[in-house]
């Protein structure tokens, strides 16, 4: 497939060359567009040598094409902006097109993905977070950033995601596109209008059911179980699925309350968010809402820690003085099971992240928890693991199973919300 790599003016711009090679090794054709600032960090000759074609740096001087931004925007199946500065992120969010890269993005007919990289304070600035939210709601795939030591000398969120992660995320997005095209081609060999997207196909309805008037509770992200004030037990959950569910439920007309563990994601517009850190805090927040009698649907997408330290230290443990051989643990509350047992909540949906025997494990979890639906996800797959932008999930009901194709997390979320609306209509008509 055709990938347009957009490179902006950031110290991490040199890593874009490695991303380019990774995508080429996977068998895809890559062309490059650069901002003028990017050329101050990486020479045009670098990408010309890698791709066999000079990068487009202006709408006036790219080969023989009189309109390079339109040609490249039409050519690309996917455009990846890597690294993406705060400035370019803002331009993309608001549709500005004052250079070749942003003009290409505006003329793009394919998918847009960005890999942000910037100073931690620029990343945390409300303006940047709002711009990020605008892009996510528009369906733009966001890869990273990571937290760590930054080029400016500060430590925090804003570091470009690892090259391998960016390449794998991009390939997963492309794979999802290819599978969607293959399905449309198989379903419509005569070349007629393509079938509806997966969420509409799921219930066989042209318009998915509405959640207007419903109150949806969603748990998202990991929990951090403290060992001492600086160390904790956690997992790899990014919170992307839970936040996608919150956006989709809000779009479907629901009042949404999101109980979120520690993540680096902007809260969707119009969604109430309760920030928590530990499994106990998430349990207390979720059960308080459930027992209020005001929740119609509860979706447990959070990866809650199963165990927490019995006696976390109130000070940083010194390896030289307080050698830690063992950590005594105790089980945390089973939030999914307790919500399913709560008579006040008509519909409860859980998730099962598995690495083997996906359906048997999910079926067992459905029976043991007593919920209405389990969304099973094979996290051993690179395109469906923690932090990925795509998922291939299997929906498991008590009486049947539905395997969904590889889709973006937003499309998966839309499918789940449609099912939730159907279940609510069956169990407790509004």
Q: Which domains can be identified in the chain, with CATH numbers? A: 2-180 (3.40.50.1950), 215-312+328-427 (3.40.50.10300)
**What is the C-alpha to C-alpha distance for residues 24 and 14, in angstroms, rounded to an integer?**
16
Closest to 338 in 3D by CA, of 348, 328, 330, 329 = 348
CA atoms within 13 A on the CB side of 49: 7
Round to whole Å and give the CA distance between 153 and 166.
23
Model pLDDT, residue 161:
87
Between CA 23 and CA 170 the distance in angstroms is: 8
Q: What is the pLDDT of residue 114?
A: 93
152 is catalytic: yes
Q: What's the token pair of residue 188?
A: 């419509």
Rounded to two decimals, what is the model's pTM? 0.60
**For the segment 356-404, what is each residue's pLDDT rounded down to a tens digit?**
888 889 999 999 999 999 999 887 766 556 667 778 889 999 988 988 8
The reply to whether 91 sits in an annotated binding site is no
Give the Cα separation of 34 and 47 in Å (integer).
10
Q: Mean pLDDT lowest for which of 2-11, 64-73, 136-145? A: 64-73
The mean per-residue pLDDT over the stretch 408-428 comes to 87
306 is annotated as contributing to ligand binding: yes
Asked if the bond preceding 145 is cis, omega within 30° of 0, the reply is: yes
pLDDT of residue 92: 93
Is 351 within any annotated ligand binding site? yes
Q: Which of 10, 20, 152, 300 is catalytic?
A: 152
**C-alpha to C-alpha distance for 195 and 376, rounded to whole angstroms:** 25
Residue 25 annotated in ligand binding: no
pLDDT above 80 (res 195): no
Task: Using alpha carbons, select from 119, 110, 126 the residue that is nearest to residue 2.
Answer: 110
pLDDT band at 205 (very low <50, low <70, confident <90, very high): very low
Which residues have a Cβ under 8 Å from the Cβ of 275 and sit 6 or more positions away? 260, 262
CA distance 82 to 62: 20
In whole angstroms, what is the distance from residue 275 CA to residue 261 CA? 6
111: Cα separation from own chain's centroid:
15
Q: Is 47 annotated as a binding residue?
A: no
């Amino acid at each position: 497939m055709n990938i347009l790599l957009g490179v902006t003016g950031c110290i991490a711009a040199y890593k874009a060359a490695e991303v380019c090679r990774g995508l080429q090794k996977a068998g895809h054709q890559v062309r490059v567009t650069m901002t003028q600032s990017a050329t101050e960090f990486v020479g045009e000759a670098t990408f010309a040598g890698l791709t066999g074609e000079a990068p487009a740096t202006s709408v006036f001087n790219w080969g023989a094409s009189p309109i390079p931004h339109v040609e490249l925007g039409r050519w690309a199946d996917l455009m990846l902006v890597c690294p993406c500065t705060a400035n370019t992120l803002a331009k993309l969010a608001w549709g500005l097109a004052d250079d070749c890269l942003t003009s290409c993005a505006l003329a793009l007919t394919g998918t847009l993905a960005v890999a942000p990289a910037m100073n931690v304070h620029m990343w945390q600035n409300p303006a940047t977070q709002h711009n990020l939210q605008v892009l996510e709601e528009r369906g733009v795939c966001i890869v990273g950033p990571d937290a760590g030591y930054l080029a400016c000398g500060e430590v925090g969120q804003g570091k470009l995601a690892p090259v391998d992660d960016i390449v794998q995320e991009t390939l997963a997005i492309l794979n999802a596109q290819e599978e969607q095209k293959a399905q449309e081609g198989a379903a419509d060999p005569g070349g007629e209008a393509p079938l509806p997207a997966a969420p509409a196909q799921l219930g066989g309805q042209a318009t998915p059911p509405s959640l207007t008037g419903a109150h949806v509770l969603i748990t998202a992200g990991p929990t951090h179980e403290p060992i001492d004030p600086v160390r904790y037990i956690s997992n790899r959950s990014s919170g992307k699925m839970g936040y996608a569910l919150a956006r989709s439920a809000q779009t479907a007309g629901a009042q949404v309350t999101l109980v979120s563990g520690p993540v680096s994601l902007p809260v969707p517009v119009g969604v109430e968010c309760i920030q928590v850190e530990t499994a106990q805090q998430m349990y207390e927040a979720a059960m308080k809402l459930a027992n209020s009698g005001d929740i119609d649907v509860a979706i447990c997408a959070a990866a809650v820690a199963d165990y927490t330290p019995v006696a976390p230290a109130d000070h940083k443990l010194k390896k030289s003085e307080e050698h830690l051989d063992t950590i005594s643990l105790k089980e945390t509350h089973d939030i999914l099971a307790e919500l399913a047992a709560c008579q006040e909540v008509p519909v409860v949906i859980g998730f099962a992240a598995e690495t083997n025997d996906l359906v048997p494990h999910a079926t067992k979890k459905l029976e043991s928890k007593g919920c209405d639906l389990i969304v099973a996800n094979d996290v051993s797959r690179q395109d469906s693991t923690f932090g990925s932008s795509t998922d291939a999930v299997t929906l498991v009901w008590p009486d049947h199973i539905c395997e969904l194709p590889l889709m973006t997390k937003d499309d998966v979320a839309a499918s789940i919300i449609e099912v939730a609306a159907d279940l609510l209509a069956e169990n407790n008509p509004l």
